[in-house]
């Protein structure tokens, strides 16, 4: 499998450290609010990578953290008059619910920063001992000059960064020896949550969290480290500096970064108001539509969120699900059980769909191409499954559609209750059409329902329906 590695700026053949096993760390959200659809992009993309690797037979250890101590969490806790822990626990719960509804599987481990403080203190101590960090008035800084490889991930020219360094000076951090030095530990301010440490009562910097949690759950060197492209600098650059200076071995072999999700061609931002949470989208769409929309672009291409694209994802999903409904109907109503000789010939073509799907995924997770294979397969189903098709043939086609769907984390079979709602909607629409004397539409809906295996019954209490 080829993966584009930000570290080498090349597409490289993926070779895991241990044959048959893959370790992945994905930087997770800061939990001070509902996650937005931008946060959903790395979740969906790297969950899809995980599913594909598992399908290839790898045992995947997938770790994704929750950053549950941070200025934004503290600000929210003050605004709402509750503790920082209550804020983060609430939004971890909400995030897990959003993940579940997007069919993003829970990580093998979801560590929380506040539960790993001892490990962070250990790593900071060893960085000080090794001469890579220094303390000033209770704050500990990482000394970037000591790391000869600093800048290797973001491919930045450090001298330019240093000369423009004023921007990097943050209030309260002006004691640092170099503008690129960054905080490992900082003293608490009044009212903030804190932990005891050899330097001050305080809390860790953001970057040290991931270095420590990745090492604890996956080891000194891991296969894949991933996140959104905004994290390349400084977050991931700093993680590499900390981990490699402390552990003396490479931190991660492959660095994967997804491009940003924009809204109506603008950067998503709370201040511009062009900002949607996953929860808001869920009020209008099945989140499978959101997942399909995300996978319709390559993860390294910027993706623009718009009503038009969501509507198009919605009708694509409908098309696939209608094909599966149709197959279900044929499976239930087929006259012949076993495949005919012709069908046996045809069914061999299914393997070619799997092959093309795999080829797309092997090409740096090209989910856009993988989806076009699914659409071709749906076309195959719609044209090659006929009234006289055998049960066995229909089942094989259906199984292929569901298999590819599963690899993408897509549920292509309507859940019964969702199906029921759709049937009710169609019946309502048919009654309205009849009232408006639009008999053509009414007949069309009756035929569509018949295609789904639904019989309508006119009763005294109104129209009832049953599955054939």
DSSP per position, 157-218: -HHHHHHTGGGG--TT-TT-SSTT-EEEEEEPPTT---B--SS-SEEE-HHHHHHHHHHHHH
Our CB check for Zn ion shows the closer of 237 and 286 to be: 237
Q: For ligand AMP, which residue of 29, 179, 234, 405 counts as binding (CB under 6 A)?
A: 29
Query: Which among Zn ion, ligand AMP, none contacts residue 119 (Cβ within 5 to 8 A by kind)?
Result: none
CA distances from 426 to 249, 411, 421, 423 (A): 61, 21, 9, 5
Stretch near Zn ion under the rule CB under 5 A, chosen from 178-186, 206-214, 403-411, 419-427: 206-214
CA distance 46 to 39: 12
Q: Least distance from C-beta 210 to Zn ion, angstroms?
A: 3
Cβ–Cβ under 8 Å, residues 301 and 259: yes
Query: Which among ligand AMP, Zn ion, none contacts residue 210 (Cβ within 5 to 8 A by kind)?
Result: Zn ion
Q: Least distance from C-beta 228 to ligand AMP, angstroms?
A: 2
Cβ–Cβ under 8 Å, residues 408 and 293: no
Provide the 10 A C-beta neighbour count for residue 436: 10
Q: Least distance from C-beta 193 to ligand AMP, angstroms?
A: 18
CA distance 243 to 210: 9
Q: For the stretch 447-466, what's the b/e string if a residue is b when 16 or more beta carbons lie within 10 angstroms of its beta carbon?
A: eebeebbbebeeeeeeeeee
Residue number of the CB atom closest to ligand AMP = 228
DSSP per position, 101-139: HTTPPPPSB--BGGG-HHHHHHHHHHHHHTTSEEEETTE
Q: For residue 38, state whether it binds ligand AMP (rule: CB under 6 A).
A: yes
Q: Least distance from C-beta 158 to ligand AMP, angstroms?
A: 23
How many residues belong to the site for ligand AMP (CB under 6 A)?
15
Query: Which among ligand AMP, Zn ion, none contacts residue 39 (Cβ within 5 to 8 A by kind)?
Result: ligand AMP
Q: Least distance from C-beta 276 to ligand AMP, angstroms?
A: 10
CA distance 277 to 258: 19
Cα 412 from chain centroid (whole Å): 18
Q: Tell me the β-bridge partners of 262.
A: 267, 304
Q: For Zn ion, which residue of 43, 161, 210, 241 counts as binding (CB under 5 A)?
A: 210
Cα 312 from chain centroid (whole Å): 20
Our CB check for Zn ion shows the closer of 212 and 373 to be: 212
CA distance 465 to 436: 22
Our CB check for ligand AMP shows the closer of 40 and 452 to be: 40
Our CB check for ligand AMP shows the closer of 259 and 418 to be: 259
Q: For residue 111, state whether it binds ligand AMP (rule: CB under 6 A).
A: no
Cβ–Cβ under 8 Å, residues 178 and 144: yes
Q: For Zn ion, which residue of 27, 183, 184, 410 counts as binding (CB under 5 A)?
A: 27
**Interface positions, 210-269, toward ligand AMP (CB under 6 A):** 227-228, 230-231, 258, 260-261, 268
Q: Least distance from C-beta 19 to Zn ion, angstroms?
A: 27
Q: For residue 42, state whether it binds ligand AMP (rule: CB under 6 A).
A: yes
Q: Least distance from C-beta 31 to ligand AMP, angstroms?
A: 8
List residues near Zn ion by CB under 5 A: 27, 210
List residues near ligand AMP by CB under 6 A: 27, 29-30, 38-39, 41-42, 227-228, 230-231, 258, 260-261, 268
């Amino acid at each position: 499998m080829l993966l584009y590695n930000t570290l080498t700026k090349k597409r490289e053949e993926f070779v895991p450290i241990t044959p048959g096993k893959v370790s992945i760390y994905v930087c997770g959200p800061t939990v001070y609010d509902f996650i937005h659809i931008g946060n959903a992009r790395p979740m969906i993309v790297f969950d899809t990578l995980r599913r594909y690797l598992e399908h290839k037979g790898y045992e995947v250890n997938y770790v994704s953290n929750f950053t549950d101590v941070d200025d934004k969490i503290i600000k929210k806790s003050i605004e709402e008059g509750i503790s920082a822990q209550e804020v983060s626990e609430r939004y971890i719960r909400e995030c897990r619910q959003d993940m579940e509804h997007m069919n993003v599987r829970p990580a093998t481990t979801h560590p929380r920063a506040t539960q790993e403080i001892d490990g962070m203190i250990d790593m900071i101590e060893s960085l000080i001992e090794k001469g890579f960090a220094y303390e000033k008035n209770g704050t500990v800084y990482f000394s970037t000059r000591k790391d000869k490889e600093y800048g290797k991930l973001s491919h930045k020219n450090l001298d330019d960064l240093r000369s423009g360094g004023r921007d990097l000076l943050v209030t309260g951090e002006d004691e640092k020896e170099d503008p690129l030095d960054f905080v490992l530990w900082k003293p608490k301010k009044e009212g903030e949550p804190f932990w005891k440490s050899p330097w001050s009562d305080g809390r860790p910097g953001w970057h040290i969290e991931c270095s420590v949690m990745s090492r604890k759950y996956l080891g000194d060197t891991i296969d894949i480290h991933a996140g959104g492209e905004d994290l390349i600098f400084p977050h991931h650059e700093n993680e590499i500096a900390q981990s490699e200076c402390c552990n003396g071995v490479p931190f991660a072999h492959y660095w994967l970064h997804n491009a940003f999700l924009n809204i109506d061609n603008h950067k998503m931002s709370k201040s511009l108001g062009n900002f949607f949470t996953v929860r808001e989208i869920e009020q209008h769409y099945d989140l499978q539509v959101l997942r399909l929309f995300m996978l319709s672009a390559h993860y390294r291409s910027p993706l623009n969120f718009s009503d038009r694209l969501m509507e198009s994802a919605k009708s694509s999903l409908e098309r696939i699900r209608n094909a599966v409904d149709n197959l279900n109907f044929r499976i239930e109503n087929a006259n012949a059980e076993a495949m005919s000789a012709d069908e046996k010939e045809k069914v061999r073509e299914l393997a070619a769909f799997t092959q093309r799907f795999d080829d797309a995924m092997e090409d740096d997770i090209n989910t856009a191409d993988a989806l076009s294979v699914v659409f071709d397969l749906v076309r195959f189903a719609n044209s090659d499954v006929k009234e006289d098709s055998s049960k066995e043939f229909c089942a094989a086609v259906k199984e292929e559609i569901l298999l590819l769907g599963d690899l993408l984390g897509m549920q292509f079979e309507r859940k019964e209750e969702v199906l029921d709602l759709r049937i009710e909607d169609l019946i309502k629409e048919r009654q309205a059409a009849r009232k408006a004397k639009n008999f053509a539409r009414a007949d069309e809906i009756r035929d569509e329902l018949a295609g789904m295996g639904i019989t309508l019954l006119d009763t005294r209490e109104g129209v009832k329906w049953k599955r054939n």
